[in-house]
Amino acid sequence: MIFSTHDVHPRERLSYWLEVATRGYVEHDFRAADASAFSGSVEVTTLPGVGLAKFSASPARVGRSARSAGRTDNGDVLLGLQLSGEATISQDGNDALIRGRGMYLLDSLRPFEINLHAFSRSIVARFPRAVLEARVGNLAGLAARPITTASGVGNLAMGFMELLPDLAEEFDDVAGLKVAEQMLDLAAIALTTERGRGAAMSSPRAVALMRLKATIERLLIEPGLKPVRVATEAGISVRYANDLLGDEGTSIERCIADRRLERCRMALDETVHAHRSIGEIAFNWGFSDLSHFGRRFKQRYGMTPTDYRSQKTRHRDDPETTQSCLQLPDMRARSKPEPPQAQARKPAGHEIA
Amino acid sequence: MIYSTQDVHPREKLSYWVEVATRGYVEHDSRPQDRQAFTGNVAITSLPGLGLSVFEADAHQVHRSSRQTAHEESGDLLLSAVCDGAVSLFQDGRECLIEGKGLYLVDPTRPFELTLRRRSSHIIVKIPRALLEARIGGASEFTGRPLLTAGGLGPLVMGFLELLPAQAEAIDHASGMKVAEQLLDLVALALCSAVEKSPALSSPRANALLRFKATAERLLIEPGLKPERVAQESGISVRYANSLLAEEGMSIERYVAERRLERCRSALEDAGQVHRSIGEIAFKWGFSDLSHFGRRFKTRYGMTPTEYRHQWQCMSTGGALSPPRRLVSEPETT
């Protein structure tokens, strides 16, 4: 089944899209960066137990709010394969910037955000969490951790998944069942291989850390947020929380500040927020002192928020420089641990994801 | 490893080619259409248990005589994917013609003749005979036939094969073993569907059995899974399912338990899953009683899950390259 905005009158494209793309998928909000120029298509197929959707869409923000995640249906997980384009995938305090090809996991039980920065094509598989949990154990810490083309198994899993939407209809029932199992097995190998590279963490700690980060993310917007409130909400002690974050060289307070900065920076990147003042954005993300915000921002990203925004806007308006714009200091990319410019100034242990 | 005739003196190109092609393939005679202009290259890589070579060569004819097969003890079968070319293969009294893309199986223990009508590129997978025959039955039914049929699995196998050579080196041994196993399962399924033949059983029964097994695999994770549910989901009665499984000395319950044990066992071997507790693995694969799991595991594999995991870890950190595990794990009927 294919839905495309192609034959729809430009004025109606976005509403048509909201109608088709939101339906039959996990409930989410969709905001196009430029509603008047929006175009997209989605092609839906299935394998036994696995839903497959092949998307292409103009820049937009796809968000699943805490409210809709809380009301959820069935706790399916989403395995995304970006074929082309550029997007930031955020969940549990991890932000994965994927340029071109890459794979990621999202858990529909918790809020997430997908920011499509450019026209992107992707395939999203949806399946019950139990089938993946059986293969990789707890999913904690796997969400929004990108699998890149640097991973051999990752490439195989991606290549395999890419073949499926066009072939799915042709499989008979036995073949379909087998192929679905194989896709899940391959994805599981890719996910665990990637995880194996990181520090091995025992399950209870990983779960606690994930819950802690998700809690921080949810509470960021509260001005005057205290570590003790975060810890209480996450159901652990402040001491244990700091101990968990200590493994990543950070602390509750540092983590809160870093995530707020990061959120503001992302908002400054986006055209949808162009009409908002910098102060408003900072206050919205829980900063209560604008000059304090400005100082920390500069320290972290090497320029003031105003400079940052105008530089972004200038680059965006001038297609010739799009490439160099992408080279801006970028703390979002987990897969790129060495951001170019702000490197020297960034405080130790800035990387919270 | 890449071998190419490019830097070889024109006079020696052919003998060089025969030398490398034999290394990546099997001993044979090679007759190029144009002896002077012939060029070719081979890239050889592997997955655990499987050899992979990518051949690209100008039109020529490959002939393997009964003399050459006579002193051949190679237990390997050659699955060949034509990525682009025009190829005809003659073996076991059958001939198959491929134009463009295609898939065929060669058994090097019997004479064959292969003609590349124009410059063609191939991916050739060397598969130990026992591994493939365990999945498809005797290989002789598959040789000399075009195995890439329209629809579904053939194109998926082709696509998967085309991905492999570039990634094979970048995959660690443990993942490589799993990928090799997956590839074989997929190949077996595609081959059987291409010749509409199934292993040891006659067709409708075989089909029902395959469907039953695939369905069971999907339902393993459900705790308290009942035989009725598996049978119903696969569209047959419990009685019929049990009669199908009886030919393998199994029953629904035994089969489900066996597959769950196998899944747990392979999770215990996996270095990527060392942080998971044994109990969690067992529960996630549908066991609901840990001591029951422990007993069955021990009966089946001769040691407790903890011992098994420990032994496996010692082995893999001890640098043992090929741990004593069979690539195919056929359930032992006990």
Burial track A10-39 (b if 16+ CB lie within 10 A, e otherwise): eeebbebbeebbeeebbebebebbebeebb
What average pLDDT does the segment B32-57 reach?
86
User: Do B41 and B15 share a domain, yes or no?
Assistant: yes
The answer to whether residue B164 sits within a structural domain is no
Judged by CB atoms closer than 8 Å, whether chains meet at A136 and B221 is answered as no
Q: Is residue B155 part of a domain?
A: no
The answer as to whether A145 is a domain residue is yes
Q: How far is CA B28 from the centre of its chain?
A: 24
Among B159, B171, B182, the residue with its CB nearest the CB of A163 is: B159
**Does residue B55 fall inside a structural domain?**
yes
B62-77: pLDDT as tens digits? 888 877 776 666 678 9
Please name the member of B152, B215, B263 whose beta carbon is closest to the beta carbon of A175. Answer: B152
Helix (H, G, I), strand (E, B) or coil at A323: helix
The minimal CB distance from A134 to the residues B207, B210, B221 is found for B221
Q: How many domains does chain B have?
A: 2
Q: Which residue in the set B186, B218, B277 is minimally distant from A49, CB to CB?
A: B218
The domain of B121 spans 2-142+172-195
Same domain, A101 and A246: no
| Domain boundary residue, one of A197, A217, A232 | A197
Q: In chain B, whose CA is at the least distance from the CA of A198?
A: B272
For residues A125-131, average pLDDT: 89
With CB atoms and an 8 Å threshold, state whether A202 touches B275.
Answer: yes
A244 with A166, same domain? no
The tens digit of pLDDT for each residue in A311-347 reads 877 766 554 433 333 333 333 333 333 333 433 343 4
Identify the three-state secondary structure at position B112: strand
Query: Residue A250 falls within a domain, yes or no?
Result: yes
Contact between chains at A181 and B179 (C-beta distance less than 8 A):
no
Partner-chain contact A179 B153, CB within 8 Å: yes
Q: Is the Cβ pair B221, A192 closer than 8 Å?
A: no
Residue A234 belongs to some domain of the structure: yes
User: Is residue B9 domain-shared with residue B78, that is, in the same domain?
Assistant: yes
The C-alpha atoms of residue A309 and residue A113 are separated, in whole angstroms, by: 21
* pLDDT of amino acid A317: 57
A256 shares a domain with A193? no
Same domain membership, residue A258 and residue A140: no
Domain end, chosen from A170, A197, A224, is at: A197
* A221 and A265 fall within a common domain: yes
Residues B115, B80 share a domain: yes
Say whether both A12 and A143 belong to one domain.
yes
Instruction: Decide if A353 is inside a domain.
Output: no
Q: What percent of chain B has pLDDT over 70?
A: 89
- List the Cα angle A256/A261/A266 in 5-degree steps: 125
B282 or B328: whose pLDDT is higher? B282
| A180, A260: one domain | no
Q: How confident is the model at residue B29 (pLDDT cuts 50, 70, 90)?
A: confident
CATH number for the domain harbouring residue B87: 2.60.120.10
Shared domain check, B230 and B178: no
Residue A313 sits in which domain range? 203-345
CATH number of the domain where residue B273 is located: 1.10.10.60
Q: Do B183 and B237 fall within a single domain?
A: no
The answer to whether residue B264 sits within a structural domain is: yes
Q: Has residue B329 been placed in a domain?
A: no
Q: Is residue B159 part of a domain?
A: no
Residue A194 confidence (pLDDT): 66
* Residue B113 within a domain: yes
Distance separating the N- and C-terminal Cα atoms of chain B:
44
Tell me the per-residue pLDDT of B108-141, one tens digit each, with 9 for 90 and over.
888 889 999 999 999 999 998 887 877 777 788 8
CATH number at residue A283: 1.10.10.60
Distance CA B101, CA B122 (A): 9
Cβ pair A182:B186 closer than 8 A: yes
Which pTM does this prediction carry?
0.72
* A184: chain B residues, CB-CB within 8 Å: none
pLDDT greater than 80 at residue A37: yes
- Across the interface, of B160, B164, B277, the residue whose CB is closest to A203 is B277
Cβ-defined contact of A159 to B214 (cutoff 8 Å): no
Nearest to B140 by CA among B206, B74, B197: B197
B93 and B229 in a single domain? The answer is: no
Q: Phi-psi bin for A235: left (phi > 0), alpha (psi -120 to 50), beta?
A: left
A78 to chain B, closest Cα gap in Å? 18
Q: ∠A162-B267-A52 over CA atoms, to 5°?
A: 25
Minimal-distance CA residue of chain B relative to A159: B163
